[in-house]
Amino acid sequence: MVSFDTTSQHLHPDRNIALELVRATEAAAIRAYPWIGRGDKLGADGAAVDAMRAFLGTVNFDGVVVIGEGEKDAAPMLFNGERVGNGRGPACDIAVDPIDGTSLTAAGRQNAISVIAVSDRGTMLDASSVFYMDKLVAGPEGIGVLDIRKPIGENLRALAAAKGKDVGELRVAVLDRPRHEQLIAEIREAGAGTRLMLDGDVAGGINAARYESRIDLCVGIGGSPEGITTACALKALGGFMQGRLAPKDDAERSRAEAAGLDCDAVLELDDMVRSDNTFFVATGVTDGGLVDGVKRKGPIIRTESIVLRGTSGTVRRISADHLAEKWLDERDL
């Protein structure tokens, strides 16, 4: 008879938990599918939140939401501090984003994904008091080479040398926002090309760390929740990541200080997630460079997901076919 150490089981995420988490991101993506291109991002987000919350309730773990949906998008569920799971498995911190890219979904654009990240209890940084974070993300070549405190041109030249490329061959992912106009200009002045993202910088950061991606670097100010979620994925990819909290005003800075956060400190990967025992799970809502979106094929709904495990450094892709009649109202299809 096989025996298990039940004490350690409740301290660390079990390796099989990833397949349970995938069911939750698949459910959120499928429920969001009828809302693609309909111009209603709140409707899409609400459907995804409901589905993810229902499936998380069946997962064999004791999760506490550290990076939640409720505060960010005024959702009634999956808020910071909420307990999720059936309470009988490992004790975990959890970050959720039922749709990273609600505006992309509403407009029918690419790169919307449904995301869950998990780490050991007490290891995920709670940066909820500051909405934005300045980030610098790359593959393993960036370790010991890049520094968020340096000018972008200097970082680009250093990364190009480490990757054995000319600067002109580098492609940098940046959110297309007015706040990044000067940054984009400096990237182009250095000779590198940009890949401007309308939304969804979790996928941008992961693509910057993936060896087969055309993106070499992801840089700029995006959501701090997305930064912590990305950090969980980087643990499996062996990539480089630094961040620095970017409060919008003095009031937000004061809230951060009251929460024990230093807005001037450079956050290394291990500061954002203090464990290598992480999972990152994402299912495509719309097509993108990371995963394909939900597709209806006759009586079948097809999803594609990616699962990254920090401890083993494993990246898995899961393609699943679901009977449409089990999921969707035919009037929506």
Binding residues for substrate: 100-102, 132, 177-179, 199-201, 223
The runs of H, that is alpha helices, within the chain are 6-9, 17-32, 41-56, 70-73, 102-107, 152-163, 181-189, 201-209, 224-237, 250-258, 269-272
Helix (H) or strand (E) holding 92: strand 91-100
Contact call for residues 140 and 238 (beta carbons, < 8 A): yes
Nearest alpha-carbon partner for 97 in 232, 187, 296, 2: 232
Residues 194 and 305: their CA atoms lie apart, in Å, by: 26
Please report the DSSP string for 143-177 in residue order: TTT--TTS-HHHHHHHHHHHHT--GGG-EEEEE--
For the record, the structure tokens of 47 come out as 């459907």
What is the chain's Cα-based Rg?
A: 19
For the record, the structure tokens of 327 come out as 């999921």
Contacts of 82 (CB under 8 A, 6+ apart): 64, 65, 68, 70
Instruction: Tell me the binding residues for Mn(2+).
Output: 45, 69, 97, 100, 226
Residues 208 and 140: their CA atoms lie apart, in Å, by: 10
Nearest alpha-carbon partner for 293 in 23, 20, 36: 36
Instruction: Tell me the binding residues.
Output: 45, 69, 97, 100-102, 132, 177-179, 199-201, 223, 226
Contact call for residues 246 and 132 (beta carbons, < 8 A): yes
Contact call for residues 317 and 206 (beta carbons, < 8 A): no
Task: Give 51: exposed, middle or buried? Use CB within 10 Å, 0-12, 13-18, 19+.
Answer: buried
Q: Compute the C-alpha angle 62/268/73, nearest 5°.
A: 50
